[in-house]
Amino acid sequence: MASYVYILGSTGRGGYRTYVGWTLDLDQRLAAHNAGRGARSTRGREWVLLYAESYPTRNEAMRREWHLKRDRNFRKRVQNF
């Protein structure tokens, strides 16, 4: 089953923010974030999908998520797409 790593972007109180996560279903996960059922740090904002990568296993997606969360330069470049 394919797994995805994604980067979300949002403008709102406190300025522009990005969020990195992984999921099995991108559309359902984005809807959960926008409905306030996502991660606590994403609640109360309107999020848009900026970037996504597909991986064949959950472990590979989680490993890539770990690296993307620490790569601020990549997140800033994605924000300007």
pLDDT tens digits, one per residue of 26-48: 999 999 999 988 888 888 889 99
Is it the case that residue 81 has pLDDT exceeding 70? no
Q: Is the dihedral of CA 67, 70, 74, 80 positive or negative?
A: positive
Per-residue pLDDT averaged across 67-73, rounded?
Answer: 91
Residue 78 Ramachandran class (φ > 0 left, ψ -120 to 50 alpha, else beta): alpha
The pLDDT of residue 33 = 94
What's the domain range around 51?
Answer: 3-79
Asked whether the whole model's pTM tops 0.75, one would answer yes
> What is the CATH number for 62?
3.40.1440
Residue matched to tokens 């996960």: 29
Dist CA 38 CA 30 (whole Å): 8
Count structural domains, the chain.
1
